[in-house]
Amino acid sequence: MSIQVGDKSPDFTLSDQNGQPVTLSALWKQGPVVLFFYPKDFTAGCTAEVCEFRDQYTDFKDAGATVLGISSQGVDSKKAFAEKHHLPFQLVADEGGKVREQFGVKGSLFGLIEGRETYVIDSQGIVRHVFNSQVQPGKHVKEALVVLQQLKRAA
């Protein structure tokens, strides 16, 4: 079952690109979190997506949000990917796809490609927005920023 708007976000602890543990609930207690699942490090669409998040990172920080990327490759792949593209945010390794499964992120092309979904989670751990598009990686950033602005105005 997929996580929907209004649901409590599953919590997890995974290792980031530096091998350090990252706990989702610790992040949302500091403010909203933009959690984006992407299919694979170093692929064209995923590179475009992480670079778009990187290029808009100041807007996310201004909105008080933490950006966190997640895919199934290991810590070493995350480290190389983050370093190559000078990413200012953490990437976490969901080896085995257990967190992807908890969120219900579906693959595409008969499950051959892991799904691309973005969640905006508020400071209470409630999912406020879900966006799913395999072919519009840049739109994940735009959608998340709109929702963060709405949350900021409502606060």
Task: Give the tens place of pLDDT for each residue, 17-45.
Answer: 999 999 999 999 999 999 999 999 999 88
Task: Give the tens place of pLDDT for each residue, 129-140.
Answer: 999 877 777 788
Selecting among 14, 34, 46, 141, the annotated active-site residue is 46
Helix, strand, coil shares, percent, the chain, to 5 = 35, 25, 40
Q: Where are the domains of the chain?
A: 13-154
Task: Give the tens place of pLDDT for each residue, 63-100.
Answer: 999 999 999 999 999 999 999 999 999 999 999 999 99
Query: CA 96, 25, 50: angle at the middle one, nearest 5?
Result: 60
> Active-site residue 46, yes or no?
yes
**What is 13-154's CATH topology?**
Glutaredoxin (3.40.30)
Q: How far apart are CA 108 and CA 67, in angstroms?
A: 24
Q: CB neighbours of 133 closer than 8 A, spacing ≥ 6?
A: 116, 139, 140
